[in-house]
Amino acid sequence: MESSKQEVVFELPMTIRVHKDGNVERLVPTDFIPPSTDPTTGVSSKDIVVVPESSITARLFLPKITDPNKKLAVLVYFHGGAFVINTPFITPFHKYVTTLVSEASVVAVSVDYRKAPEHPIPAAYEDSMAALKWVASHSNGDGPEPWLNNHADFHRVFLGGDSSGANIAHNLAMAAGNPETGLDIGLLGIALVHPYFWGSVPIGSEAGYPDDKFLVNRGYVDRVWPFICPSNPDNDDPRVNPVAEGAPSLAGLGCKRVLVCVAEHDVLKDRGRLYYEALSRSGWMGVAEIFETRGEHHGFHCYFLEREKSKELTRRLAAFYKTDAPRF
């Protein structure tokens, strides 16, 4: 008979495994790439402690500065990983954000939020909002981080993320639309790349999506939210299904621009499209755009930076981060 340590009580294939004794195995290889100045792009990075009391950290990125008097847009970035894996410090996300910062010429703060199951939802949202408020504390030029004090344009603050990170960006933007949140800055826009939204009833191609075709398939996604949010294990929780019956109106989204990016072979694509459509007809006073990558899968751009379609997506995101507030 297997020992309790060997007995598996939950598993997301190639992602995470939980044993009966509570031992958690993360099945994705991890590394740590130190902050540096990238010799190709000139982008500099450094690691910072955002909230010492809760040990929230982040990696800060600064593009090569050619005009020290020019203020740069701010990108607060949230990495993907089903709320259970990855950090800003591993090679794929460090290199991806470096590339994006170089292309878009933004100051970026890549947040290391706590992960489930050790820290279930809402920990990731709480950490991410704390990081955003820390960024906002620099809006008068007297915060603790000189890169933000000296280079950031707080009239052009964006949130961005991939997969679960895009989910975080959406939920923070919803919170930002509520004056009681106490956020001292406005958000110009959010970019949601392959956003993790879901629901209890399949829509579009989900019903016929073959469960064995790709790692991130219908069966996989069905199990994520109940695992990371045991306090409300319902795939129609508005935080994961923002168009569910009874969910807060998307008209309250606290930003002026939204870009939704989907991939043709991603099981989450129809949720991204539905979000874009629902937002567009919600009465929200902003500009929504959608961009689809043909022939690609979930999260391809973070791991295959040299692909032409990855470069195309990066250019589209960079163009978005270069925009100003819309005029109506």
Active site residues: 163, 266, 298
Residue of 84, 94, 90, 114 whose CA lies nearest to 15: 84
* Residue 106 token pair: 């933004």
Residue of 323, 260, 261, 264 whose CA lies nearest to 296: 264
**DSSP alpha helices (H): ranges in the chain?**
91-104, 123-136, 146-151, 164-176, 218-228, 269-280, 300-303, 308-321
Residue 263 dihedral angles phi and psi, to the nearest 5°: -125, 140
Q: Rounded to whole angstroms, how far apart are CA atoms 176 and 198?
A: 22
* Tally of residues, the chain: 328
Residue of 57, 61, 130 whose CA lies nearest to 87: 57
- Indicate the angle between helix axes 91-104 and 308-321, nearest 10 degrees: 50
Say whether 202 sits in a helix, a strand or coil: coil
Q: Give helix then strand counts, H and E, for the chain.
A: 8, 11
Q: Rounded to whole angstroms, how far apart are CA atoms 50 and 56?
A: 5
* Residue 140 token pair: 């008068």
